[in-house]
Amino acid sequence: MLTSKFIKMRNTKVIYILLVLGIITAIGIIIPGCSEDRLDIKPKGVLLEPSFFNNEEDVYRALVSAYDPISWLYSWGMSYWVQLNAASDDANAGGNNASDQPCFVQADRFNIDVTDYGAEELWRKYYAGVYRCNIIFYNVEAKPELQTPAVNMFLGEARFLRAYYYFDLVRFFGKVPLIDRPIGSEDYAMTRAEISDIFSLIVSDLELAAPALPVNAPEKGRVDKGAALALLGKAYLFMSSPYFNLGDHYQDAANAFGQLIALNKYELMENYADNFDLDYEFGSESIFELNYNDLIGLDWDASNPYPRMEGNIDIQLCGIRSLVQTDTVIFSPGWGFIKPTQEIAQVYLDNNEVIRYNASIISGDSLEALGMSWTDNFDYEGYFRMKYAPMAKDEPANTQAWANNFRVIRLADVYLMLAECIVNGASDPGGQDADHYVNEVRERAGVPLKSGVTMNDIRLERQLELSFEAVRYWDVLRWNLGDEIFGNHKADLDREWNPAKRGLWPIPQTEIERTGGSLDQNDGYN
């Protein structure tokens, strides 16, 4: 359990959100329903922005508020991790039945509705983060006396956060409104920006963030130089892909990854499974991870979920439902989501994987041999997850508020992305070839080394290494293999992959209505 000042401040985030934002925070694009009469009201006991940003501590508190949405989960159906794993060919949505958490089942079936609550909450989550970052930039720029070395670091963190929020927005929704300043009701008629302009902001933010950030963050849970370089390289890699087709930026990506490696800060964990263990969070391989704690139990108030969500509800969501353990107690029971497919199990078996197989999945036969039983059979294909499973040893102190972090970017991911850049014509700043980086990962996995690595080798390696880490879906799309892989993924079981959608989530209908129709819908949706 982390007890740093940063984590403690996150637990009092409601106070800081009120202090920073003053009136009503825009959790979508805009602040709906703001009339002149309401704006004339002088709130009591609440600091408004102009009177709040007075010193470094104020900016830091605003930064805490900007960090907050990055780890938002919603027990009633919003989770980037669950939705992306469900949409991939590595996992089925699971749950109790096809009506359990429609947001996850729709992602699994590729038939997300324009009124889907999960999509709407993702949209709100990311734009809440963008809005809070913009508040910081606007107020600090207006007060030169605030621009101290400490505040410049805070600005670097905020730029990373805004880039992160937009990176997910553009991958989930494609063209989205590009908002780089605080906005109000006069901006109702917002339109969608070009993909190239969105990536330009992402790259610009990260290129400004990296030199402003220290090699080692002052507190766990905050971003540092390595995180900015990793995300910058990843953004360039996506820009280079045939999916986005924004030019050849493989060398730019390789340069960013090379700078990260040259920091000599990161190394692969000796034990692959430790990457997903609560006891090894912020380990040597972790470059950026989403932080959770078990200090506040889960609040099921659907009208006000976020201020009370400090724990990782996804861990609870994805455990084995109705599990009975008699002889050996390994897991804590859960609600049955994200069950491995036979396909991913076969990929491990066909490649004689042992280490990564055992750390990622476990067969039902193995559990029965340990004296376990369950009734969790919806979407069950003979396997359950080990990676990010709710383990008995990690049961939270407060109800369903798991403290397990999600590793968003780790060194093995960077090694494989750098190998991909090299295969596509880039030169490694460190002078290595693609074989070197792929074999670094394979050696840890205890499998034979390779020579003459190809893109097919890298695609396979990424699936083996990064299963159930919310990476596979994006990888398949950026390789432009969605029609081939997802279009043929259990097409006979009500999967509705539509090439016209290109794998994008729909623009939430509520946002289209809120903007008076100035936002248009993605192709393939009614």
- The structural domains of the chain, with segments of one domain joined by +, span 5-110+119-212+505-514, 306-404, 409-496
Say what the pLDDT of residue 12 is.
38
DSSP string, 399-412: TT---PPEEEEEHH
- Please give the structure tokens belonging to residue 415: 């090694």
Least confident segment among 151-165, 189-203, 285-299, 403-417: 285-299
User: Residue 151 — left, alpha, or beta (φ > 0 → left; ψ -120 to 50 → alpha)?
Assistant: alpha
Spatial CA neighbour of 385 closest among 91, 134, 189, 53: 91
pLDDT in tens, 229-257: 999 999 999 999 999 999 999 999 999 99
Say what the pLDDT of residue 308 is.
57
User: What dotted CATH number matches 409-496?
Assistant: 1.25.40.900
Rounded-to-integer distance, Cα 134 and Cα 66, Å = 9
pLDDT band at 182 (very low <50, low <70, confident <90, very high): confident
Say what the pLDDT of residue 75 is.
67
On the question of pLDDT at 41 being above 60, the answer is no
Share of the chain above pLDDT 70, in %: 87
Kind of pairing between the strands at 324-325 and 361-363 = unpaired
Place of tokens 């469900």: 86
Rounded-to-integer distance, Cα 526 and Cα 506, Å = 10
Classified by CATH at the fold level, domain 5-110+119-212+505-514 comes out as 1.25.40
pLDDT in tens, 84-122: 999 999 999 999 998 888 899 999 999 999 999 899 999
Rounded-to-integer distance, Cα 441 and Cα 269, Å = 10
On the question of pLDDT at 276 being above 60, the answer is yes
Gap between the terminal Cα atoms of the chain? 46
CB atoms within 10 A of CB 443: 12
Q: Please work out, in degrees rounded to the nearest 5, the angle formed at the alpha carbon of residue 81 by the alpha carbons of 164 and 382.
A: 155
CB atoms within 10 A of CB 240: 24
Say what the pLDDT of residue 306 is.
56
Place of tokens 């792929």: 438
Q: What DSSP designation does 74 have?
A: B
pLDDT in tens, 308-333: 578 999 999 999 999 999 988 999 99
Place of tokens 């609040």: 299
On the question of pLDDT at 31 being above 70, the answer is no
pLDDT band at 296 (very low <50, low <70, confident <90, very high): confident
On the question of pLDDT at 43 being above 70, the answer is no
Say what the pLDDT of residue 18 is.
35
pLDDT in tens, 361-373: 999 999 999 999 9
Please state at what angle helix 102-109 crosses helix 117-141, rounded to 10 degrees: 100
| Average pLDDT in the chain | 88
- Tell me whether the CATH fold assigned to 5-110+119-212+505-514 matches the one assigned to 409-496: yes
CB 325 within 8 A of CB 372: yes
